[in-house]
Amino acid sequence: MDFRRRKLLQVGAAISSYFALPTLSLANTRKSNKEGWIYELTAEEATAEIVDGFQTDVLGFDGQIPAPTLRCRQGEPVTIIFTNKLKEPTTIHWHGLRIPIEMDGVPFLSQPPIMPGETFVYRFTPPDAGTFWYHPHVNSVVQLGKGLVGAIIVEEAEPVLFEEEHTLLLKHWHLDQQGQWKQLMIPRYSARMGTPGEWGTVNGEHEPVYSLRENATTRLRIANVDNTLTYPIAIKGAEAWVVAIDGNPIKTPYPLEQHKISPGMRLDLALHAPKQGEKVYVQYMKGRFPFPLCTFESVASEISSPASLPALPLNPVPDLDLKNASEMDFVFEWEGAISPTKKDGKVDSKFWLMNKRAWEGMNKNSIPAPLATLELGKTYIFDLKNVTQYHHPIHLHGHTFTVLELDGIKLDEPFHTDTVLLGKNGSAKAAFVADNPGKWMYHCHVIEHMKTGLMGYIEVV
């Protein structure tokens, strides 16, 4: 397989083709060399037809399901003018982006919560290209669960051109057959793998069908924006290559057999569209049995023969100083204690611990102590240990891990990620340079695990 990088011929034509993509809507934007990328975005109540023939009350960015896709470019400034039209506070976290702490979207830790009717301006310059996403960090079970999830795509500084590109947001909704909401969080499931939704969608549609031009070099950007489910992904009908994991290109692409994407995680695949009339299936594997997520049908095109698949340049992740690195242990486990009852008689569920601490919660007058305080510019190796039988995708804000070891096996080719998936009794060694000062949230991205204890933060000073 030849992964030689293709050169850009016409930048204007490339940008125009990006904004013509059929699978996701785009927010209101304008672009200028002086100001960079500027978006206006809202969060608001809306209705959407998620279950065919029925309307569901949802929460949507710009009132849309799926949310607008935000596109920008590596190394260029981005401004998002965000207005909260909800009836409760909210924020936006830019998942996977290494940006200043003031823009990270965690209430009280990095910014005040954005109150109803207020506008907050997010400004940052993304150093990395790749597939990322955005979501609130307030009332997360409800706000994410009811639809406040969207993709932010950072194009390469020197654009890498595929002839087709599709962004696929995977989410199961907690809806019945008439599109009415069921419980988003059931405590006995929160103490296990989380409360699963029952209505599967890609970009807000159940088993959608898209078209591909015959022979086209194709990039699939797949993001798991679900609260709970892990998707083991497989492709049928074409040979797909893994080219990026969690927004970060990998050094040596490899053929996809099956790849697990837990909540918060992403996967970029490259493939050639098959001959006209043939189909490509994106599948969710449950053991040996595939379940359909979406289908691509090849249609006639002007592309007479397949071109080489473009290669992705690596992101400028800081070089590790492993010789002088400090190691820290982080153990993720089940508390197994009786949950306390609050004054109003409701149970305050706490099921999960990180280094024997459950997240205490916080407000503007009370910020808990950090799990660790790190020295700015120093390399750290986090020894991650899951001593439970359930998956935990461990996400660190503001930094990029280099995974050195998984389940006791040293990797021949370490990879970069912002979310490390720990399987049943799984372990990992993940290193990074603590080069971004601030108080950075550090948590499991199964939202119910996060909300019932499996969250904390590290401080870089």
pLDDT per residue of the chain (461 residues) written in tens, 0 to 9: 433 332 222 233 333 333 333 344 556 655 545 678 999 999 999 999 999 999 999 999 999 999 999 999 999 999 999 999 999 999 999 999 999 999 999 999 999 999 999 999 999 999 999 999 999 999 999 999 999 999 999 999 999 999 999 999 999 999 999 999 999 999 889 989 999 999 999 999 999 999 999 999 999 999 999 999 999 999 999 999 999 999 999 999 999 999 999 999 999 999 999 999 999 999 999 888 999 999 999 999 999 899 999 999 999 999 999 999 999 999 999 886 555 556 666 666 678 999 999 998 898 889 999 999 999 999 999 999 999 999 999 999 999 999 999 999 999 999 999 999 999 999 999 999 999 999 999 999 999 999 999 999 999 99
Q: How far apart are the first and last CA of the chain?
A: 45
Mark whether 453 and 342 lie in a shared domain.
yes
Residue at a domain's end among 115, 131, 155: 155
Domain assignment of residue 448, yes or no = yes
Domain assignment of residue 283, yes or no = yes
Partners of 379 in beta bridges: 433
Tokens read off for 416: 């970069």
Report yes or no: 374 and 213 within 8 Å, Cβ to Cβ. no
Task: Quote the Cα angle for 245-274-6, to 5°.
Answer: 55
Mark whether 126 and 191 lie in a shared domain.
no
77, amino acid identity: P
Domain assignment of residue 372, yes or no = yes
CATH, residue 448: 2.60.40.420
Q: What CA–CA distance (Å, rounded) separates 29 from 31?
A: 7
Q: What CA–CA distance (Å, rounded) separates 230 from 195?
A: 12
Mark whether 63 and 117 lie in a shared domain.
yes
How, if at all, do strands 289-299 and 279-286 pair? antiparallel
Quote the pTM value: 0.91
**258: Cα within 13 Å, side-chain hemisphere:** 12
Residue with tokens 């909210």: 90
Instruction: Note down the domain range covering 361.
Output: 322-460
Mark whether 131 and 20 lie in a shared domain.
yes
Domain assignment of residue 311, yes or no = no
Domain assignment of residue 310, yes or no = no
Per the structure, the count of domains in the chain is 3
Mark whether 454 and 330 lie in a shared domain.
yes
Categorise residue 157: left if φ over 0, alpha if ψ from -120 to 50, beta otherwise.
alpha
Mark whether 196 and 266 lie in a shared domain.
yes
Domain assignment of residue 305, yes or no = no
Mark whether 184 and 151 lie in a shared domain.
no
